[in-house]
Amino acid sequence: MTSPRVLLSGGGTGGHIFPAVSIAQEIQKRFPDAEFMFIGALGKMEMEKVPQAGFKIEGLDIAGFDRGNILSNFKLPFRLLSSISKAKRIIRNFKPDFAIGTGGFASGPALWAASQLGVPTFIQEQNSFPGVTNKILSKKAKAVFTAYPGMESFFPNTEVKFLGNPIRQNIIDDKLAPEVAKEKLGLQNKLTILSVGGSQGSRTLNNGWKDNLDKLTEKGYQLIWQTGKLDYEVLNKNQEIQNLSSAEGQISLNEFIKDMGTAYSAADVIVSRAGAIAISELAVAVKPILLIPLPTAAEDHQTKNAQSLVDQKAAFMVKDVEMKDKFWNTLEQICENEALRKEMMVNLEKFGKPEATKQIVDEILNKTGFNHNKN
């Protein structure tokens, strides 16, 4: 059987990029000669991350609705039409056997163009509440793969499969005992907090830590702090942080963490934004979590994602507006109560779907006739 030619589109944030890359890598495992083409948005992080993963990418001049600059949105319809036209040219040249969309600015025009050209399309919906674009695209899709159960009502015109979110393979493969992971990272064997603000970083989280450095010092907790590009340079020059990083070794400051599997393993508690992929990775890592949802996320999906875990006593949540009053107290409540941490881990594990990527690829290959060499 010939190997498939696969079109993928997902980007804007790591939460859309990593699932697309994970799906591509799983298909590549089964079909080493498969051809891949990604479609992204010019100027967005996928234009850098996808080539780093070894795949080709073409960029569209597309962006989302800008709430801060209403006038700039008048160009959106023209950019959308131009992007659909360019996506069609890419698709005609590449001739994919099927197309997969994982969300982001470019995913809409890419999948719309693919469906208009008769290419079978699939959607991977990461959130508990889908956006308008995926609802529209689903009408012509062969299947929608969801991360949460009971989402059939959002996609009444197509087959819906609850399979979970694809996550980075090293999260699954690189699990270590906490003490081994801490030693690997050059950390002491004591209570360790991992703070991750998403692929772009979180100023809210960064300020939350900066405001509580005295309490962190007093308690002696160890902190693996992923700042993102946003504030890294400023924080790295902060004298108090420098002292805690070098002399005390209490803070490990990172712009970006490549080995997330080891970082998750080393953590006793994790503080994170509530993006869908972050939550899926945390559920597989199975660690107590404090979620700080991004309030500006589309349709407030991060708060909805976080609430679904809070309702099951699998996580705590502090909103941006509550950071000054509740952040440290809530974090300390988790850190100081081992029984609570164990209960949270038991409840969180139910959300874990480590086989999601393989099962999604199984479905796609079965529905497109490329179903041999199944792992």
Residue 14, marked binder: yes
Tokens linked to 332: 């300390």
Nearest C-alpha neighbor of 226 from the set 278, 285, 170: 278
Instruction: Measure Cα distances from 29 to 25, 26, 92, 217, 257 in Å.
Output: 6, 5, 26, 46, 25
Q: Is 57 helix (H, G, I), strand (E, B) or coil?
A: strand
Residue 246, marked binder: no
Residue 228, marked binder: no
Q: How far apart are CA 225 and CA 75, in angstroms?
A: 39
Q: How far apart are CA 18 and CA 260, in angstroms?
A: 13
Nearest C-alpha neighbor of 333 from the set 243, 271, 245, 241: 271
Nearest C-alpha neighbor of 347 from the set 292, 300, 301, 283: 283
Residue 296, marked binder: no
Nearest C-alpha neighbor of 166 from the set 358, 372, 371, 312: 358
Instruction: Measure Cα distances from 55 to 9, 36, 58, 220, 275 in Å.
Output: 12, 7, 10, 43, 24
DSSP per residue over 315-365, as a string? Answer: -EE--GGGHHHHHHHHHHHHHT-HHHHHHHHHHHHTT--TTHHHHHHHHHH
Phi/psi for 227 (5° steps) reads -85, -25
Residue 15, marked binder: yes
Residue 101, marked binder: no
Phi/psi for 124 (5° steps) reads -110, 110
Q: Which neighbouring-strand residues pair with 316?
A: 290
Which conformational region is residue 198 in: left (phi greater than 0), alpha (psi within -120 to 50 degrees), or beta?
left
Residue 261, marked binder: no
Q: Which neighbouring-strand residues pair with 57?
A: 38
Residue 251, marked binder: no
DSSP per residue over 60-126, as a string? Answer: E------TT-GGGGGGHHHHHHHHHHHHHHHHHHH--SEEEEEESTTHHHHHHHHHHTT--EEEEE-
Binding residues for UDP-N-acetyl-alpha-D-glucosamine are 13-15, 127, 168, 199, 257, 302
Residues that constitute the known binding site: 13-15, 127, 168, 199, 257, 302
